[in-house]
Amino acid sequence: MAEDKYRITLTEAQLTYLLSRIEQETQPTLHKYFRVFMAKMHLGAVSAAFTSIGRKSVEERLEEATLSGPERRLLAYTKYQDNPRACSTEEVKFAKTYMYENDLMTPAEEEEFEHDQI
């Protein structure tokens, strides 16, 4: 008999917590499922469905508003280097501007950047 199955998105911390709770209970099927899933995750056989960037705090938004152009571009570039997927569209634009201004792009990237500025 077929069963409906559902997917949820959990952080690694949430999965670890659930595994610890399941280990305390006597749920061998769930325990095995979570243990195998966590092992696959740590080995890189399973990747995250998406990366949540979260909402910025009021303090972060105020800090960004007071930054000068060059400071803001440097901050965006640093974030872009760490995780481009976590950047907003505006942050990517600032990061690429920083890269362009500081000769950190390949000739092809420079050409694309210049073309996008038109």
Listed by start position, the domains of the chain span 12-43, 58-117
Q: What is the 3-state secondary structure (H, E, C) of 27-88?
A: CHHHHHHHHHHHHHHHHCCCCCCCCCCCCCCHHHHHHHHHCCHHHHHHHHHHHHHHCHHHCC
The residues, any chain, with a CB within 8 Å of residue 31's CB and separated by 6 or more, are 19, 22, 23
The predicted-structure confidence for 43-102, as pLDDT tens digits, reads as follows 888 777 776 666 777 667 766 667 778 888 888 899 999 988 888 888 899 999 999 999
Alpha carbons 75 and 60: distance in angstroms, whole number? 12
The predicted-structure confidence for 33-47, as pLDDT tens digits, reads as follows 888 888 888 888 877
